[in-house]
Chain A
Amino acid sequence: GAVVSQHPSRVICKSGTSVKIECRSLDFQATTMFWYRQFPKQSLMLMATSNEGSKATYEQGVEKDKFLINHASLTLSTLTVTSAHPEDSSFYICGVLSGNTEAFFGQGTRLTVV
């Protein structure tokens, strides 16, 4: 399957600052990437679908101005959490769609906002 690299794996930031998370598809040209968020003991909740060269499609309840997604190339998508607050602390995971249905995921980013 596709190899997906996510960076950083852990980040701690102060409340009010912005944090950028990178998702790279190392061996596969990814037209579509997904961003998920997982709170403790919860499921992986889809935040947005990122399509190369176009605007991301956000799920209901996800603020697009707070969670900025850029998918400028077939190998890189970035998620920027702007003006982060403690309630944004979570585990963020990106996934790459391979073919029509299978997705391969990065190792995730643990964001802690203090």
Chain B
Amino acid sequence: DQQVKQNSPSLSVQEGRISILNCDYTNSMFDYFLWYKKYPAEGPTFLISISSIKDKNEDGRFTVFLNKSAKHLSLHIVPSQPGDSAVYFCAASFYQAGTALIFGKGTTLSVSS
């Protein structure tokens, strides 16, 4: 049973517009969430994270929103750029040492110019 779900396998956005990538989780014990970007044949690259005690974290063009009651988080990219085209993975973990990340299936973002 998937604990982290990314229900949209793909998303297409025009350059300059906002990209919104969604993620849902089922385990209410998760208390730390991360977004990774991945290109084919490469390892994931860390983008941004958020602790469960917050509802928003912003870093440049990337903002992550967390709605704990809905067990939902989203990544907003604005403005979107063609170089943002990649697979985006949502991950969750427990805030204790040595715990692995649980990943969603990923969403392929395509930004057209």
- A residues whose Cβ falls under 8 Å from a Cβ of B: 1, 4, 6, 9, 31-32, 34, 36, 41-46, 49, 51, 91, 93-95, 97, 100-108, 110
- Cα distance A104–B38 in the bound complex, in angstroms: 12
Verify A43–B46 contact, CB threshold 8 A: no
Knowing that A94-B43, A95-B100, A104-B46 are A-B contacts, what are 6 other residue pairs whose CB atoms are under 8 Å apart, sorted by A's residue number? Answer: A43-B106, A46-B102, A101-B34, A101-B93, A103-B34, A103-B100
**Contact count A vs B, C-beta below 8 Å:** 69
A contacts with B: majority SS: strand
Interface residues on B, range: 20 to 34
CA distance A41 to B97 in the complex (A): 30
For this complex, 29 residue pairs linking A to B, each with C-beta atoms less than 8 Å apart, are A1-B46, A4-B43, A32-B97, A34-B100, A34-B101, A41-B9, A43-B2, A43-B105, A43-B106, A45-B103, A49-B98, A49-B100, A51-B98, A93-B44, A94-B43, A95-B100, A95-B101, A100-B95, A100-B96, A100-B99, A101-B32, A101-B34, A101-B49, A101-B93, A101-B95, A101-B99, A107-B42, A108-B41, A110-B41
